[in-house]
A and B are shown apart, each in its own frame.
Chain A
Amino acid sequence: MLKQTPLNAAHRAAGAKLVDFGGWEMPVSYGSQIEEHHAVRRDAGMFDVSHMLAVDLTGADARAYLRYALANNVDKLTKPGKALYSCLLNPQGGVLDDLIVYFMRDDWFRIVVNAATADKDLAWFDSLAAQRGSAVSIAPRRDLAMVAVQGPHAREKVWQALPGSREASEGLKPFFAAQAGEALIGRTGYTGEDGFEITLPATLAVPLWKALVAAGVRPCGLGARDTLRLEAGMNLYGQDMTERETPLESGLAWTVDLMSARDFVGKAALANPPQRTQVGLVLADKGGVLRSHQKVATAMGAGEVTSGTFSPTLGRSIALARLPAGVTPEARVEVEVRDKKLAARVVKPPFVRNGEVLVKD
């Protein structure tokens, strides 16, 4: 029996094609995932992301606990509402999950984790707190729904749809959140476009969704979510990195604070420079699609595609790949696609930001 979000009936009514995503019944598209992708790059689209889990960490030791638990440094969060993207590591430096943490108050941080890893993360958070005797409460918020509205016109349409939201969120800088009534509005996203992610009580999800549709926001599914995030150079946990990889091998060195004296779980394991690094690939020809696990041949040895797809904005296939360290942008490589060896160009992601192609030929 698949889990359903509060918006399940709305997806069915809109003719969504529903699939199993990490045990949740989610819309992969409502018709054309490519049209949905273009809607986000050009206008405004929205995603039901209620399958993800918000976890409220409260208590006197909240900050100290997170300083130790997370690879990125929550001491960067000094203003209430500020958010940080971080990996959660195990003691071997392997990635348990990637997440966003919001600083709400000195004794309250909110963490948003992936759907498929939520139970694992909660068990890990609990055991770590017990191990350290931390004075923290860890509360999964299964009573909350989440909607991501993304695109150049997204914020404007949210203000039309949600009373009180403009005053609360018009001044928000990227990676900040503010409370608007019962909703928490964050200027964050997984698409490379501007927009908001709105967390609110599950009972308010359907009225919000309907109001956003009325304001001209297009419902978008997981298919478009994947092509958008890949164009934006954003990793997908479980595909671009797992517990078997460190953040340094996954293009996520920028999310690990190794500069301060702070000790954190997995720090010792990250002492050595990685043998493999993550790069972007653009297929040279328009024919064929790069996909996970395809072998990549480079001048420095063999590698592997971690995530691949067709990029609607570029009109050709792109990928993230784990290659031997030392393979640099503009290098030419060969990828085994089905029964052929196709030429690809190494690039530094992102491929697209704010509607603009960054990796021109």
Chain B
Amino acid sequence: MNVPAELRYTESHEWVRTESDGTITVGITDHAQEALGDLVFIELPEVGRRVEAGEAIAVVESVKAASDVYAPVGGEVAAVNSSVVDAPEKVNADAYANWLYKLKPANAAELAKLLDASGYTKIVGEA
């Protein structure tokens, strides 16, 4: 199972990387892309949108089903990865190299609530 040790995770299968400038980069995990199957459509938020922790912020849709992607913490959308909109299959090919959006967290303390790799591994191991 592919769960990089240096990232943090949510129970809703997002991965989170904290950047040196304090923003976070977010994508969906390898487990998520595998469960969804071939992705055909990705809908990303507008830059500047404000979200709360746990709010649905993006959509990834596979042939099988559509799935909401959630904000791991509250904040403002700083950037989106438009290259995956034109080629959603990139996320299947490498879920960790193909991020979806970046957030400027409203409250950095919320990041401490995220799961570490072993915490996330336990969740998907039980699935």
Contact = CB atoms under 8 A, between A and B. Distances in A.
A227 interface: yes
Contact of B41 (A32, A223, A289): A289
A310 interface: yes
A33 B36 CA distance: 11
A210 interface: no
B38 A309 contact: no
Contacts of B59: 338
Majority SS at the chain A contact face? mixed
A227 B61 CA distance: 15
> Residue among A29, A32, A223, A310 with the most chain B CB within 10 A?
A310
B119 interface: no
Nearest to B59: A338
A317 to B, nearest CB: 8
A240 to B, nearest CB: 17
Chain B interface size, under 10 / 10 to 19 / 20 to 34 / 35 or more: 10 to 19
A223 B37 contact: yes
Contact of A223 (B43, B61, B64): B64
A286 B61 CA distance: 12
Given A287-B43, A289-B66, A338-B66, A32 B38 contact: yes
A198 B80 CA distance: 49
Given A33-B63, A223-B63, A309-B63, A289 B40 contact: yes
Contacts of A338: 59, 66
B89 interface: yes
Nearest to A286: B41
A34 interface: yes
B25 interface: no
A261 B38 CA distance: 50
B16 to A, nearest CB: 25
Contacts of A288: 41, 61
Interface of A: 17, 28-29, 32-34, 223, 227, 286-289, 309-310, 338
17 contacts: A17-B37, A28-B37, A29-B37, A32-B92, A33-B38, A34-B40, A34-B63, A34-B89, A223-B37, A223-B38, A223-B63, A286-B41, A287-B43, A288-B61, A289-B63, A309-B63, A338-B59
